[in-house]
Amino acid sequence: MPTSEQNEFSHGSVGVVYTQVIQFDSLTLEGGETITPLEIAYETYGTLNEKKDNAILVCHALSGDAHAAGFHEGDKRPGYWDYYIGPGKAFDTNRYFIISSNVIGGCKGSSGPLTINGKNGKPFQSTFPFVSIGDMVNAQEKLISHFGIHKLFAVAGGSMGGMQALQWSVAYPDRLKNCIVMASSSEHSAQQIAFNEVGRQAILSDPNWNQGLYTQDNRPSKGLALARMMGHITYLSDEMMREKFGRKPPKGNIQSTDFAVGSYLIYQGESFVDRFDANSYIYVTKALDHFSLGTGKELTKVLSKVRCRFLVVAYTSDWLYPPYQSEEIVKSLEVNAVPVSFVELNNPAGHDSFLLPSEQQDSILRDFLSSTDEGVFL
């Protein structure tokens, strides 16, 4: 049963859930190296029907994991997309079978830098092979096939999750019916790469970095915290930061900052260190930066092979993944006569908008998923 703290969030919740880990023999990466064995951490919500045609794969963003909805035992807060996943919600678990997995290269149960190397009994850490967005999707395909699912009803995600959804439509065009891409891009701009590079350099500059072969007692915590602080600035809009913090002083006796926004960022950085691994941060941000389906004519050519319909959502206040990048995707789909609906929401929260509760966004997702029209549904 949910705790009293959980009840605030638990309306329409899938309840208490558990992360499971499945093991496959191996996965050959795009770079030629092999992960042996391959482990994938995942959660499911709802029931797979007899035809196995009601499954939706939800893909998480950079710092996310398999826990998309419901509560883990003892947790006070639900999974990151709980507002949208559950009975009667946009991703209605009375109708759909929702699958959410941790990306490989991450640090929450799937194969990655924290995985134990069978050759020496120690974590791979920085010796783990480079992982691409394509590799993440290929690992997910193994999981989907394990369930006996030939064609997904939809693949959905925001930010890095949107890139995975795009990759699914290109790599497995006959394996999904619908694709939902939110606050995302077909490739990173120089500015987006620059933000990630600053974060990586903060980690590499930490005295405890030790070429990525650090111990749990001497982790590059300061560098990872700084990387998270830098990243978190890009997730919020100027309007949201002005409204939330202004030029207010910090609460309490905090000597290291003069402003509330500084105190907030310090908290975000320090709490992130408790739940994420520095090597994984480097691996996942590099996967983001190296992902490229191209732009313009190149993107149009790549997307000529897709066979699903699309919902693309952008946010006016998102300056990390600005709407023009979503519009690039939409234009290339339209040139290929692919059914696509595009929505630009005027949500003031910035890049994080796709994660936050919104009745308007809920309605858009709900209408798209329930629509049987092969054209534009808005």
Tell whether 303 is covered by a domain: yes
d(CA 4, CA 332): 49
Pairing of strands 176-182, 309-315: parallel
Tell whether 369 is covered by a domain: yes
Tokens of 367: 């209408």
Q: Which of the following is catalytic: 317, 318, 341, 353? A: 318
Same domain for 90 and 164? yes
CA quadruple 26, 30, 32, 38: dihedral, nearest 10: -20
Same domain for 261 and 369? no
Q: What is the SS3 assignment for 98?
A: strand
Q: Which of the following is catalytic: 10, 159, 186, 263? A: 159
Tell whether 8 is covered by a domain: no
Give the residue ranges of the annotated binding site for substrate.
Answer: 228, 352
d(CA 302, CA 133): 16
Task: Give the phi and the psi of residue 97 in degrees, each rounded to 5.
Answer: -105, 110
* Listed residue (90, 80, 70, 94) closest to 19, CA to CA: 70
Same domain for 115 and 253? no
Q: Please confirm, yes or no, whether 318 is among the known catalytic residues.
A: yes
pLDDT higher than 60, residue 375: no
Same domain for 151 and 296? yes
Same domain for 33 and 169? yes
pLDDT higher than 90, residue 340: yes
pLDDT in tens, 306-334: 999 999 999 999 999 999 999 999 999 99
Q: Please confirm, yes or no, whether 362 is among the known catalytic residues.
A: no
Q: Which domain holds residue 40?
A: 20-187+292-374
Tell whether 181 is covered by a domain: yes
Residue with tokens 């072969």: 213
Same domain for 266 and 215? yes
pLDDT higher than 50, residue 57: yes
Q: Please confirm, yes or no, whether 351 is among the known catalytic residues.
A: yes
Contact 126, 118 (CB under 8 A): no
Mean per-residue pLDDT over the chain, rounded: 94
Which residues, 6+ apart, have CB-to-CB distance to 297 below 8 Å?
none
Give the residue ranges of the annotated binding site.
Answer: 228, 352
Contact 148, 53 (CB under 8 A): no
Pairing of strands 122-123, 309-315: unpaired
